[in-house]
Amino acid sequence: MEVIKDLYLLNSAVKKQWESFLQQHGIDNFNNAETKYLNQTVGLFDEHDQLVGTGSIAQNVMKYVAIEVHGEIHAGVRFNKIISALIQRLDQAQISHYFVFTKIKYVSSFKHIGFHCLAQVPQGALLESGFPTIKNYLAQLSQPNSEQQQVAAIVINANPFTKGHRYLIEKAAQENDLVYVIVVQQNASLFTTPQRLYLVRLGVQDLMNVKVIDGGEYTVSFATFPAYFLTSSDAVIDYQTRLDAQLFKNWFVPALQIKRRYLGTEPTSHTTRLYNDNLQAILQPEVEVLVVPRYQLADGQIVSAFQVRHYLVTQNLEQIARLVPATTFDFIKAHWAILQQRIQKGWHGNGN
């Protein structure tokens, strides 16, 4: 009888065994940025107490799944045991909706146990299972009405909302019947998700044809695009940005009848540049991609949320006032103490 046991990777002997098992099965990315987010790891052991399968959970994402196979019989049985164990642990942690990144060859195994494919690119695929599903998520968004033909979308993190975001949205609002502003949902940012959403809504409330929506777990989230938040190699960024773009094209575009996507250039961010390149390659020609040069102040100063965060760290309110609309500025002033506290608690000013 093969049994599931918890693997405690803090124990270096256990970790070594786990790593060498994964390496034998073609997984060799043990970057600390990846492994330190693993919440739980399980191992499957055979009658001789040999490790024959493993899988891990990082928040709501299954990772590092590998199975030792001798003939076809074991494959399905062991795979299902591992995934069952992971689902059980997710359920205990009250996580009812989860994802997996996997190689193309395992897609059918996951589909066979109820996973749905969200996006697939040559390097791999992203699948989800549990509730609420992407269909549930999209169903609660309001659709364009019949008069709104030209529909555009902008995806922003808005950490925090700046004059640059405002400029991009205003431009899109003038050029389209309806603009969806999709705010990335991720609490890895200095400004929390509710705060970022609030500031975007406040900042565009005079634009009648703009709808601000929460991107849920489907746009640039820890699930779909961890490299946005973690330092990663170009190959990883390329893979994840493709998945993100493909997911947008597969699901958001048809559900909201999106015809255009607006992007801002980001001269200083390598990740954003790769992301923009892949968006153009994947979304076009079905979706027109418009790249709008970054907004600058009259004196040539570039406006970016990164700059704002920099001035928050250096406590320069005067400069912040130049970069953000009054709505954001008032918010920052009112929450100055708590933002400073967050910075002092070790929140570092980099990232996107």
Partner 1 sequence: MEIKRIATAGTLESSDIQITIAPGNNGLQIELQSDVIKQFGAQIKQTIIDVLTNYGVQNAQIKAVDKGALDLVIKARAIAAVQRALEISEEPRWEVL
Contacts to partner 1 by CB under 8 A = 77, 80-81, 83-84, 87-88, 91, 94, 96-97, 112-114, 129-132, 136
Burial (CB < 10 A; 0-12, 13-18, 19+), residue 255, is middle
What is the smallest separation between the CB atom of 140 and partner 1, expressed in angstroms?
11
User: How is 262-322 classified by DSSP, letter by letter?
Assistant: EEE--TT-HHHHHHHHHHHHHHTTTSEEEEEPPPB-TTSPBP-HHHHHHHHHTT-HHHHHH
Q: Closest CB to partner 1 among 84 and 280?
A: 84
**163-175 vs 193-203: helix axis angle to the nearest 10?**
50
Q: Closest CB to partner 1 among 81 and 260?
A: 81
What is the smallest separation between the CB atom of 101 and partner 1, expressed in angstroms?
19
What is the smallest separation between the CB atom of 73 and partner 1, expressed in angstroms?
11
What is the smallest separation between the CB atom of 7 and partner 1, expressed in angstroms?
19
Q: Closest CB to partner 1 among 53 and 264?
A: 53
Q: Closest CB to partner 1 among 97 and 249?
A: 97
CA dihedral (92, 93, 95, 98) positive or negative: negative
What is the smallest separation between the CB atom of 77 and partner 1, expressed in angstroms?
7
Cα Rg, the chain, nearest whole Å:
22
Q: Closest CB to partner 1 among 59 and 148?
A: 59
Q: Closest CB to partner 1 among 16 and 112?
A: 112
Question: Residue 247's CB: how many other CB atoms inside 10 A?
Answer: 23
What is the smallest separation between the CB atom of 68 and partner 1, expressed in angstroms?
17
Rounded distance, CA 226 to CA 98, Å?
Answer: 15
Rounded distance, CA 96 to CA 82, Å?
Answer: 17
Q: Closest CB to partner 1 among 13 and 73?
A: 73
What is the smallest separation between the CB atom of 82 and partner 1, expressed in angstroms?
9
Cα→Cα distances 195→96, 184, 190, 192, 346, Å = 25, 12, 10, 5, 19
* Residue written as token pair 């570039």: 302
